[in-house]
Structure 1
């Protein structure tokens, strides 16, 4: 009946980590920031331009992403540069964005009079 073996329910620690990751990805600006950082390392000001937010807002989002371990930073003189830290999250984000494309594509194909 099942193509893959049924897996056990995750233990509490793993479920908490997964939920925390989803919380970090629950903000559209953080999704954009993280996606941009998977493309290349960047500064706060450059990220602000890319995602269409203020540098202050981007800085706050980066602080949360850094504390959660999804983003790393390095200093070069007085500048800080950020990069995505986790390739597992890249796969998760890629699948989620692919799903979003599927949902929006399916919505565009629906006949609005079919409801």
Structure 2
């Protein structure tokens, strides 16, 4: 029975040559792990709120704390996590640290997924 299914698949799917090509083009284990970490980070509502807030403006920790109505320690922890994954970056001016999104890729991912969620 398994051989019949395999033969049918080879007839309609292109056979094993496509499998080898796809295997050669498969992302590396390290890339897959890094990507999974980013999606894991995006799986937290607090981190998503921080990212959404930073879409509009570069902000200091104090301002993010005020917008989210959370404790400074909790916000700082989340910002550190996001910074380690290069989702946000920081800029220091004197003693004040300002946070913004690391690059346009993060903004694009967030905006696309937000539009997807809001699409009915």
Normalised by the size of structure 2, how large is the TM-score?
A: 0.73
Aligned match for 1:47, one of 37, 56, 64: 64
Please give the secondary structure, in 1, of the residue aligned with 2:26.
coil
* 1:111 match: none
Deviation at 1:87, TM superposition (A): 1.3
Q: State how many pairs are aligned.
A: 98
* 1:73 match: 90
Q: Distance in 1 between matches of 2:57 and 2:81?
A: 19
Structure with higher helix content? 2
Q: Distance in 2 between matches of 1:101 and 1:52?
A: 24
| Greater Cα radius of gyration, structure 1 or 2 | 2
Deviation at 1:9, TM superposition (A): 3.2
Runs of 4 or more above 4 Å deviation: none
The two structures, once aligned, show a CA RMSD in angstroms of 1.8
Runs (5+) with no aligned partner, structure 1: 1-6, 107-115
- Aligned pairs for 1:1-115 (under 5 A) are 8-102=25-119, 106=120
Deviation by residue 1:6-44 (Cα, 9 ceiling, x = unmatched): x74322122112101101111111011112112111011
Deviation at 1:93, TM superposition (A): 0.8
Deviation by residue 1:62-86 (Cα, 9 ceiling, x = unmatched): 0101111111112111111111102
Normalised by the size of structure 1, how large is the TM-score?
A: 0.75
Please give the secondary structure, in 2, of the residue aligned with 1:32.
helix
